[in-house]
Structure 1
Amino acid sequence: MANAQEHQNSTAKNFAIGGYIETYYSQDFNQPVDHKKVGILNSHHRSNEIAVNLALLKASYQSTHIRSHIAIGLGTYMQANYAGEDGIWKNVYEANLGFKLSKDHALWLDAGVLPSHIGAESAIGLDNVSLSRSLSAENSPYFETGARLSYETKNKEWYFSVLALNGWQRIAMSESQRGLSFGHQVQYKPSTNILINSSSYVGKEGIDSLRIFHNLYVQGRIGEKWSLLANWDIGLQEQSMTKEKLYWWNAGVQGSYAITPGLRIHGRGEYFKDRDAVVFGSTFGSGSALWGASLGLDVTIYEGLCWRTEYRHLEADKAGFPYKRQDLRKTANHITTAMAWRF
């Protein structure tokens, strides 16, 4: 009985429950009648209405040799990003189990629904520099399902992982998918203020194409007030029947400055070139390019509670942003205000 009680107490110490909720109102000055922004945006994508972007409840377990995370989510982010999943999977934000393979080294094998190994931005807004997500983040995976083998050096200077995945942002493999996809991630931290990341993805998209993608980003802090994030992505998709090679790439820079401990401004500039309409599809047509800029203000109201406001401008070289009932425009302007709480 004593051993059972000790085990129960030890398990309770390793177990934690937390959550996150982000409500928002976003004004799209193009006034789309269906209350939806352009389809290439998934976070805060409802327009001219009060909505919940993400409400998340998460349970975590961490011990010397086992770790696990289960998180269930609701909100407009989940509706947009999990539209292709079935049943209960539409609400599974994270569900994974990991086992430490080495007694003396941080060598882990994790499997299940995992956070994406691509990009620096998360669905959890308080983890990001800006309120809205970049075009890079919105058009690359937020989550993935598969197995990950990872290793981190003892001084935490280097992190390596290789992954086998069910596809490009998928939980259940689609009927058209043929075989697993693969990826890698390498992170280098030369100091506590700098992180350099390289991530890749290689996999079949449907039955007739191969997708190769690489993401590079650098995060940095300058003193206690400045934080910066720069990214560069490039993708190639080869059609196996025609041998046609389709390309896209994007780049962006965003940063923030803490005026006071509870007051922060942030901004972003970005460019996305979808030469062959692989990512944007028919929204803007072949050869499309988008420019974007944003400026925002964050106010910390209470521990874990933040009020964020942002103005964002997007401009394309072709009309594709929905305008009122049936028209399309080359530009879109959004003002978004959100209240976010992590507990």
Structure 2
Amino acid sequence: MKTPLILFIALMLATQLHAQDSDREFTLSAFADVYYAYDFNNPLNNSRQYVTQAARHNEFNLNWGYLLAEYSAKRVRSSFGLQTGTYVQYNYAAEPNELTKMIYQANAGIKIKEGIWVDAGIITPHTGYEGVASIDNEIYTRALGTEYTPYYLTGVKLSAALNDKLDVTAVVVNGWQIIAETNNAKSVGVNLQYRPTEELTLSYGNLIGNEQPGFVGSRKVRNYHNAWIKYTFNPKFHAVGSFDYGVQELLGSAESGHFVMAMLIAEYKVSEKLAIGGRVENMRDDDEILVNTSGGGFNLSTYSMTGTLNVADNAKLRVEAKYGSDANAIFLSQDATTHDDFFLLVGSLAMRFTK
């Protein structure tokens, strides 16, 4: 447990020695997102099912906290971050090494030419609209399309800003949100982000690879695609639409199954301090490729409303009400009863500090 802290301190001290050089920059940042969530289903063991964000019921807790050191120079850059919180507890549960669960980012990059970088290590994903940090999103909780697609990847990423309107990214990674390799295959993906006007952003990304664990045996290729569009109508109002589609060969079958996720987000800024956001979404995974409900299939729709108070430039106070319903009774309560819907109230204070 001491090793990541030692590495973090070493990086901080080493890069600080060069902080005065005009071509070199060292940044230290910290983030904390504390929350209280109440799920009216009173979930079993106070653990909310099918989510990694705000995952604990009736409990004050840290959703996500990190310390991140970043170094950049004319031709190289690197970052190393440590993390903790209930998000880490739930999202990294499949990682076999307790040490790696603590690592938020660990990568190094080289600039090939102006606007073109190659980074390797534990990296941020190239697909999806929402990010892992709640402070950067319109809605406090994450969409299902975010929860069930990668929050992190491990491998090599090529990113190129071709001009002021078009960015291209390509990755070769170990697999679908994993640090430790689980088979002999690698996954590949690309992302294109196009900004034809200041108001409009279009994005398309994919990730294709064998997601069958084991170094011997059959391959089960997952072919995943994501597209989103954001339009800013005026300085106070914008909307985002996102669509995810994936196909994967099924276990014990020559056939393939698929999953579909769609969402719509809108945010209105009432004032400089106050904003109101809403999100509707649906995720359907009848073949349980991404979601395990013990055989009933997954067909969940949710409806969220978030109020955001910008208490400072680097801090947000959020309150969210969220309702969800599924075609099956997949939510388990403390008294062993099951429900086909849920209602959640959650409050959060998130703050980011950068030096």
Q: Give the TM-score normalised by the residue count of structure 2.
A: 0.90
Deviates more, 1:244-253 or 1:64-73: 64-73
In the other structure, the counterpart of 1:203 is 209
SS at match of 2:177: coil
1:191 to 197, 203, 206: 197
Contact map agreement 2:107 2:123 (CA 8 A) in 1: yes
2:170 to 162, 173, 176: 162
Rounded Cα–Cα distance in structure 2 between residues aligned with 1:41 and 1:52: 15
Give per-residue Cα distances to partners, 1:109-168, cap 9 Å, x unaligned: 11000011121111110111100000100111100000011211232x111121110110
Give per-residue Cα distances to partners, 1:215-248, cap 9 Å, x unaligned: 1011222211112211000010014863211111
CA RMSD, 1 decimal: 1.8
| Displacement after TM superposition at 1:11 (Å) | 7.1
In the other structure, the counterpart of 1:74 is 84
Cα distance 1:296–1:341, how it changes in 2: closer, same or farther (>3 A)?
same
Rounded Cα–Cα distance in structure 2 between residues aligned with 1:284 and 1:310: 31
In the other structure, the counterpart of 1:118 is 127
Cα distance 1:284–1:331, how it changes in 2: closer, same or farther (>3 A)?
farther
SS at match of 1:34: helix
| Displacement after TM superposition at 1:9 (Å) | 2.2
The answer for unaligned runs of 5 or more in structure 2 is 1-15
In the other structure, the counterpart of 1:301 is 311
Q: Percent identity, please.
A: 27
SS at match of 1:80: helix
Rounded Cα–Cα distance in structure 2 between residues aligned with 1:23 and 1:43: 11
Cα distance 1:248–1:258, how it changes in 2: closer, same or farther (>3 A)?
same
Rounded Cα–Cα distance in structure 2 between residues aligned with 1:80 and 1:294: 22
Residues 1-343 of structure 1 aligned to structure 2 (within 5 Å) = 9-10=20-21, 13-38=24-49, 40-85=50-95, 86-102=97-113, 105-155=114-164, 157-174=165-182, 177-206=183-212, 207-208=217-218, 209-239=220-250, 242-282=253-293, 285-286=296-297, 288-343=298-353
Contact map agreement 2:204 2:226 (CA 8 A) in 1: yes
| Displacement after TM superposition at 1:20 (Å) | 0.8
1:265 counterpart letter in structure 2? I
Rounded Cα–Cα distance in structure 2 between residues aligned with 1:282 and 1:330: 12
Rounded Cα–Cα distance in structure 1 between residues aligned with 2:17 and 2:285: 58
The answer for unaligned runs of 5 or more in structure 1 is none
Give per-residue Cα distances to partners, 1:310-331, cap 9 Å, x unaligned: 0000100000012222111000
Rounded Cα–Cα distance in structure 2 between residues aligned with 1:255 and 1:69: 33
Give per-residue Cα distances to partners, 1:248-278, cap 9 Å, x unaligned: 1011101110001000101001111112121
Deviates more, 1:331-340 or 1:177-186: 177-186
| Displacement after TM superposition at 1:302 (Å) | 2.1
Contact map agreement 1:284 1:318 (CA 8 A) in 2: no
| Displacement after TM superposition at 1:72 (Å) | 0.8
Q: Give the TM-score normalised by the residue count of structure 1.
A: 0.93
Cα distance 1:180–1:31, how it changes in 2: closer, same or farther (>3 A)?
same
| Displacement after TM superposition at 1:279 (Å) | 1.6
Cα distance 1:100–1:267, how it changes in 2: closer, same or farther (>3 A)?
same
